[in-house]
């Protein structure tokens, strides 16, 4: 099976609704979704990214500079690595993710290039 990375992003409605019960409900939905991927044998790994923690590097005038995070709904909030027989199957797995409905978000599905040496470039 090929590997696919699912990038999660979107509106983060759980942070904007001011409803303290919403975030735990979404977390529970994600945990059930991850468990369903495990049961089907598609799950490899997943990580939620910490909000506004890290660095964003860009090149300006030939110099690498550190800047603020993107202030947009397009920011990535987490990633999941899955295995699937095809891109279509990976997209089907992503369709059932709570990020789409519960958080009004998006999921970008990308094929992992496994021709590179294991561990990176």
Every domain of the chain and the residues it spans? 2-49+72-111
What's domain 2-49+72-111's superfamily in CATH? Dimeric alpha+beta barrel (3.30.70.1060)
Cα–Cα distance, 6 to 108 (Å, whole number): 6
Which strand (E) or helix (H) includes residue 3? Answer: strand 2-10
Per the listing, tokens 């990535």 go with 76
pLDDT computed for residue 3 by the predictor: 96
User: Which pLDDT tens digit goes with each residue over 11-58?
Assistant: 655 555 567 777 788 889 999 999 999 999 999 999 988 776 777 777
């Amino acid at each position: 099976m090929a590997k696919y990375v699912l990038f999660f992003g979107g509106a983060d409605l759980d942070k904007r609704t001011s409803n303290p019960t919403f975030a735990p409900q979404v977390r529970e939905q994600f945990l059930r979704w991850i468990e369903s991927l495990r049961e089907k044998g598609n799950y490899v790994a997943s990580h939620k990214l910490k909000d506004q923690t890290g660095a964003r590097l860009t090149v300006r005038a030939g110099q690498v500079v550190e800047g603020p995070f993107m202030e947009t709904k397009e920011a990535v909030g987490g990633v999941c690595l899955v295995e699937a027989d095809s891109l279509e199957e990976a997209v089907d797995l992503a369709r059932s993710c709570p990020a789409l409905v519960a958080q009004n978000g998006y999921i970008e599905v990308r094929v992992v290039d496994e021709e590179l040496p294991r561990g990176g470039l």
